[in-house]
Amino acid sequence: MGTFSVMIEIGDLQCQRFEAIEALVDTGATATMVAASVLEEIGIKPTKRQIFEYANGTRTELDMAPIMVRIDGDETPTWVIFGEEGSSPILGAHALEGLLLGVDPYSQRLIPVRGLLK
C-alpha cells in the first residue's frame, strides 16, 4: 500500500500566519511533526516537552506546541513536534481525527469520515 503525502497548511492559533507544506500521512504517529525552523519562521514557540517513542523502541524528549492545521479549507487545533532540520513533515493521527479525516491507502488520499459518539 505504501505511504503518501498531502499538502497542508500550518499556522498559529490566532490563524494570522499560515505556511503551506507537504506532509507524509502517518496514522501511526500521534502528533504532527514539522522542522523547528519552519515553525519558528511563522512564530510558533515550544510550550512543553514530551517523551515520544520511535518504531524501533528508542525514546526521546521533544519540544511541542499547539498549532492550527488546515486541509482543504477545514481547520483544527492540534499539537506539533519540533522536528530536526531536514526531517520530513508528518501529519499525525491527532490532526486527522480533529479534521474527521480517514486514510484511503489504495487511492492514497484522505477521505471524510463520520465522528463517533459511541
Locate the domains of the chain by residue range: 5-112
Residue 1 has pLDDT above 60, yes or no: no
Yes or no: domain 5-112 corresponds to CATH 2.40.50.140? no
At residue 2, the pLDDT reads: 65
* C-alpha distance across the termini of the chain, in Å: 30
- Cell numbers placing 111: 477521505
pLDDT of residue 118: 85
Quick one: pLDDT at residue 14? 94
Which residues contact residue 105 at a Cβ distance below 8 angstroms, ignoring those fewer than 6 apart? 1, 2
What was the pLDDT predicted at 22? 98
Query: pLDDT for 25-73, tens place per residue?
Result: 999 999 999 999 999 999 999 999 999 998 899 999 999 999 999 999 9
